[in-house]
Amino acid sequence: MKAPAPVAVTGMGCICAAGKDFPTCVQTLFSKDPDPKPPSRFTARHPETHPVFEIEASILTHLHSREDLSITAALGVAAARQALEDAGWDPEALSRVRTGVCMGTTVGSTMNDEAFYRTYRSGTLPDLFPVRRFLSSNPAEAVARTFDLSGPCLTLSNACCSGADAIGTAMSWIRGGICDVAIAGGADELSRVTYNGFIALMITDTRPCRPFDRDRNGLNLGEGAAVMILEPETSRRVRKRAPRAFVLGYGSAADGYHLTAPDPDGAGLRRAAGHTLSADGKTLSRIAFVAAHGTGTKDNDAVEARVLDALLPGIPFFSTKGHTGHTLGAAGAIQAVLAAACLNRGTIPGSAGFFTPDPQLPAHPTRHPQKIRGDLALSESLGFGGANAVLLLKRGGDSS
Amino acid sequence: MKAVIRGIGVVGGFGTGISTLEKILMDHGPFIESFAVPDGQPLGGEPYAPVDTRNLKERFSPRSLRRMDHLSRTALLAAALALEDAADPGGNADTGVAVASGYGAVRTTFAFLDTILEAGDAGASPTLFSNSVLNAPAAHISMHLGARGPNLTVSRFEMSFSDALSIAVQWLEEGRAPSVLVGGVDEWCPVLGHCHHRFSKTRDAAAFLSPFCTGLERARIAEGAVFFLLSPEMEPASGYGVVESVESGRLPRDTPTFPKDAVILTGIDSHRDSARPRLPGDHRVVDYTGYYGTLPVGMGFDMAIASVIVRRGRLFSVPDSTGGETVVDGFQTEKAPKIRRACCLNITPSGAYGLITLASRPDFSENSRPQGLMKS
């Protein structure tokens, strides 16, 4: 069977606690120790502090200059701008082709402004500005509006898989000829409401998160955005742009098991990975590593380790959450751009926070940076509601 | 490749089941009724038309429904009805699920905020939080109906439904799923009612739902869900018709393409700010919003009605809200030639538009309609 056409990634952008742009984020992944801190933009009363990965205040102030846009939407626009510059697309040229926008989010599509609601509950007429801002901040719409684009436009809200699903959906758009260029990724901001929600679920750590570690005790929330610019390989060649990476496959499947807990057998993740790998029969031997979802929660990491051991025994894997925090709707996109960077460097990082192997798990992530062999990588995402999404990425360079 | 509409499930203020909606079309009404907001709301708001999901208990165990919120119940009921209408109650394990929602679980979201405001940050409810996540309805559908294929939720306000449909058709074209449950769901809550009331100061209390009367707010706030079971065109022997295309774009740069023989369902929902498209003069234009009300995923209800239109090959007249005058663009439905195509058009005030085109299939006569369980 002939493999589907590769979809070229011609530009990438990323903003998160690890850095203000893509190169800085990659550098942090290989050089800095993580340093999550208590949230600084809001306060919350809990018996213990739960650290988060916030974007530096000065960076956020620079990015979020428009009051009528949410931080989530502003992050998405900023990551898109970085990626478009990296891809060599100027806005005027971009508006002459059919450009799609596909963004994942969770916080960005939830109407839950606390101050507005508190006023409403008190019986006082609340200012409608937060509602107007919410209505003007749909992440995909905000990107399309900013760059004056007219192609397909989608905001996916598929919990923690959203960013990966957005890139996978955009890959299908390019393959299907639905648009000429696609801006795809995810964005989410830290929110007091989400912070309280995750603490209520008892899945946040009071220390820096420890993905796959024996003593792991939950996740640290984060915030950020990442975007890939996708184009048909033929167009990339015509534009003479160096490929940053290729997206070769995407699979999505539901556990159908529980609203908040993953299927212990990882049935949905296996199906999503199976669909992704079936895109090319020769892929298994070329897989260099897996960028795991690896949040640091007991259940998620156990399921992932079991599935990876069964499907890809001996293939190294790592988690980026110890450097970025769990950025929810942005997580799958941030992970994908970092995985692409690792493919191009020929090295993967150690999993920040992983110190002691868990004897209950059949496979363990990298502890230190290591060189890789192979030109392909999987990037996995698992989410609330039993959502699973897997992307198959290829190193930039030759598209074969 | 085109997608075949095999089954439809609808839940709205008008009732439950596609046969109920079809009867309303045949009987030329009644319009959806709305009720005053429940007591105890601090700032009042618009009346709305509530849905009733009690007959979910005939299908699923009370235990499994125990912690499910109103939005997910509404979506699950409509999805189950779509499978039953297609005579496929068991579904397929690889069936995909694509869900649209303009605002998601707003009742649950604000109920979650209530727990924080009343019990403090440490008193936040984990159950409410997990149900407030936008993809909770899609997760419940997957869990209860055994649909474990690709599973996505999209949210772009009034554009959400056509976005979800475009994904469903794409999955079928790519062979990602043998069938897809695609639908939309939205619910009313006091805060939304309040916001609507504040945003629509010029509401005309004397009349409502006059879609082609500009400048006045006559929307009737509704909630509900609509789902379709879609399959690749080759497979089913019965159904309603086919999805010929799903188009999106932005006016004025892009232009929607209407097939010459298509009737256009506008989905203009009587919001004061609803965009009134410049429609081609030689097309018949109808608006059935009065039967299901105003909600972000209203385009899904238009598609359900368009499905009935192409299967029956006829239009249904719409009474004027002011009294029994039949006005469907001056078109006498009984004498008209067979309707083969119907377009559902939705345009946001910012110019974004979605256009769904359905076509009849000659072998899908009225008699070939699957006689599913049809509980309603």
B161: nearest CA partner in chain A: A154
B312, B164, B337, B317: which is closest to B240 by C-alpha? B312
Confidence at residue A52, expressed as pLDDT on a 0 to 100 scale: 98
| A-chain residues near B350 (CB < 8 A) | 141, 145
- Whether A400 maps to a domain, the answer reads no
Task: Please tell me the distance from the alpha carbon of residue B254 to that of residue A207, in angstroms, as a whole number.
Answer: 52
Confidence at residue B375, expressed as pLDDT on a 0 to 100 scale: 36
Confidence at residue B329, expressed as pLDDT on a 0 to 100 scale: 43
- What length is written for chain B? 376
Q: In B221-358, which ranges are continuous DSSP H helix? A: 289-292, 298-312
Task: Please tell me the distance from the alpha carbon of residue A351 to that of residue A220, in angstroms, as a whole number.
Answer: 14
- Whether A173 maps to a domain, the answer reads yes
Smallest CA–CA distance, residue A47 to chain B, in Å, is 8
- Supply the ipTM of this predicted assembly: 0.96
| A-chain residues near B140 (CB < 8 A) | 259
Interface of A with B in 166-185 (CB under 8 A): 169, 172-173, 176, 178
A179, A129, A190, A175: which is closest to A154 by C-alpha? A179
User: What's the Rg (C-alpha) of chain A?
Assistant: 20
- Whether A288 maps to a domain, the answer reads yes
pTM above 0.90, yes or no: yes
* Rounded mean pLDDT for each run of 10 residues along chain B, 376 residues in total: 92 95 91 64 66 93 94 98 87 92 97 97 97 98 96 97 98 95 95 84 48 55 95 81 94 87 79 53 82 93 97 83 44 66 90 93 64 38
Distances (CA, A) of B205 to A125, A282, B210, B220: 22, 67, 12, 11
| A-chain residues near B166 (CB < 8 A) | 152, 154
Confidence at residue B252, expressed as pLDDT on a 0 to 100 scale: 84
Beta bridge partners of A37: A52
- Whether A167 maps to a domain, the answer reads yes
Confidence at residue B268, expressed as pLDDT on a 0 to 100 scale: 67
- Whether A1 maps to a domain, the answer reads no
How many helices and strands in chain B, by DSSP H and E?
10, 13
Confidence at residue A399, expressed as pLDDT on a 0 to 100 scale: 47
Specify the CATH number for the domain of residue A141. Answer: 3.40.47.10
Interface of A with B in 196-225 (CB under 8 A): 196-202
Residue of A44, A122, A252 with shortest CB distance to B121: A44
DSSP assignment string, A318-365: EE-HHHH-B-GGGHHHHHHHHHHHHHHHTEE---TT--SB-TT-S---
Confidence at residue A66, expressed as pLDDT on a 0 to 100 scale: 85
Say yes or no for a CB contact (<8 Å) between A387 and B132: no
Confidence at residue B50, expressed as pLDDT on a 0 to 100 scale: 84
| B-chain residues near A109 (CB < 8 A) | 104, 134, 155
Confidence at residue B88, expressed as pLDDT on a 0 to 100 scale: 77
Confidence at residue B44, expressed as pLDDT on a 0 to 100 scale: 57
The answer as to CATH 3.40.50.300 being correct for domain B3-368 is no
Tokens of A29: 């992944």
Confidence at residue B325, expressed as pLDDT on a 0 to 100 scale: 40
Task: Please tell me the distance from the alpha carbon of residue B42 to that of residue B52, in angstroms, as a whole number.
Answer: 24
Placement of tokens 């995810």 in the chain:
A186
Smallest CA–CA distance, residue A326 to chain B, in Å, is 16
Say yes or no for a CB contact (<8 Å) between B191 and A176: no
Class of residue B338 by CB neighbours under 10 A (exposed 0-12, middle 13-18, buried 19+): exposed
Dihedral, CA atoms, A146, A147, A148, A154, nearest 10 degrees?
-80
Annotated domain spans of chain B: 3-368
Q: Domain range holding A387?
A: 7-395
- Whether A2 maps to a domain, the answer reads no
B227 residue type, one letter: F
Is the CB of residue B254 less than 8 Å away from at least one CB of chain A? Answer: yes
Confidence at residue A283, expressed as pLDDT on a 0 to 100 scale: 81
* Rounded mean pLDDT for each run of 10 residues along chain A, 400 residues in total: 81 98 97 91 96 96 89 98 97 92 96 96 94 96 94 96 98 96 98 98 98 98 98 96 96 95 95 84 87 97 98 97 98 98 98 97 97 97 97 80
What is the total count of domains within chain A?
1
- Whether A87 maps to a domain, the answer reads yes
| A-chain residues near B129 (CB < 8 A) | 196-198, 200-201
Confidence at residue B324, expressed as pLDDT on a 0 to 100 scale: 42
What does DSSP assign to residue B334? Answer: G
Is the CB of residue B245 less than 8 Å away from at least one CB of chain A? Answer: no
Q: In chain B, which ranges are continuous DSSP H helix? A: 18-27, 62-65, 70-85, 106-119, 126-132, 136-145, 160-174, 190-199, 289-292, 298-312
Q: In chain A, which ranges are continuous DSSP H helix? A: 22-31, 57-63, 71-87, 91-95, 114-122, 129-135, 139-146, 162-175, 192-200, 233-239, 267-277, 298-311, 321-324, 331-345
Residue of B67, B110, B152 with shortest CB distance to A252: B152
A319, A315, A341: which is closest to A395 by C-alpha? A341
